[in-house]
Amino acid sequence: MQLDEDSNGKILIVDDTVVNTRLLERILTKNKYHVFPFNSPFLAFNALESIMPDLILLDVMMPEMDGYELCLKIKSFPDCFTRPGESNSI
């Protein structure tokens, strides 16, 4: 997925509280980030490969799967967002 030239990057938000995702989406969009909000950790995980975000914001307490579980699942994802010269310290 290509971004506009003036975009600051892609941010994936995962939070089961819709108000939280909408608020973060508004704030980040105003600051020229391309935002991908999800209310389900399963849907967010399934979208990772197509989005490949620069940053992921996770809610820690969600009913289906908490943020820690999702974080571990993301870390087991092949080529999990590690770029040359960077560490993957989630």
pLDDT of residue 79: 65
- As a whole number of angstroms, the distance between CA 26 and CA 11 comes to 12
60-86 as b/e: b if 16+ CB within 10 A: eebeebebeebbeebeeeeeebeeeee
The CA distance from 73 to 42, in Å, is 10
Query: What was the pLDDT predicted at 6?
Result: 73
Selected residue with higher pLDDT from 55 and 77: 55
The stretch 2-27 carries a mean pLDDT of 89
Task: Tell me how far apart the alpha carbons of residues 50 and 86 are, in angstroms, rounded to a whole number.
Answer: 21
Q: What is the pLDDT of residue 18?
A: 96
pTM metric for this prediction: 0.79
